[in-house]
Amino acid sequence: MSERPEQQDDDRMEFLLTLRRRGISDPAVLRAMDEVPRARFVEPAFTKRAYADQALPIDCGQTISQPYVVAYMTEKLALRPHDRVLEVGTGSGYQAAVLSRLAREVVSIERYRTLAEEARARLQSLGYHNVDVIVGDGLAGAPSRAPFERIIVTAAAAELPQALIDQLADDGVMVLPLGPHGGSQHIIKLTKSQTGISREDLIAVRFVPLLPGQAKEL
């Protein structure tokens, strides 16, 4: 049985209040989080928990990140309307949908064909036409589409991915979780300038690992 519309409205209000209480303050990010219907990006069995501040399982052993982490990473990107964004790890397409409300174009790479096809269809049906979902190796990025003003990685890299850094535009920003699977992971913000890369270590997190190559079985 689906939730009553009134309950869904209450859940979404609490969802936004939770983001504000946890420190998300950028009005554009909060508006994007409000506009994107998270319930459309979770598995049907988890619809009632769509607006809870927790990660949820999706196909292929992956997850949809908790709303606070989505909002936090988006805020740290400091997106501008003209930016082209590379997202590594499409998943259900939720993070890409949020990014699409704030940037000119989003190129999203997913190693699992099943997830990529489902996300592409979902995003198109919801009207997020400035997102291009491609199947490929996220660690390789999309060199033919580079450079990107912003890059976001939604799985934990064991070390800084040089191929992605190379695809970052001058004065570009990349936000990613860094650390070993099952070990200490933190969100890292990298800013590229003519003099090199500056690094800022942010909050502790737990993400699925960023794996090389395109998945062959799914």
Please identify every residue annotated as catalytic: 65
| Alpha carbons 72 and 19: distance in angstroms, whole number | 9
Place of tokens 């699925």: 208
E strand residue ranges, the chain: 56-57, 63-64, 84-88, 105-110, 131-135, 148-153, 168-178, 185-193, 196-205
In a 3-state reduction of DSSP, which class is residue 174? strand
Cis bond leading into 147, ω under 30°? yes
Collapsing DSSP to helix, strand or coil, 205 comes out as strand
C-beta separation of 126 from 96 below 8 A: no
Bridge partners, 191 (sequence order) = 173, 198
Q: How far apart are CA 192 and CA 197, in angstroms?
A: 5
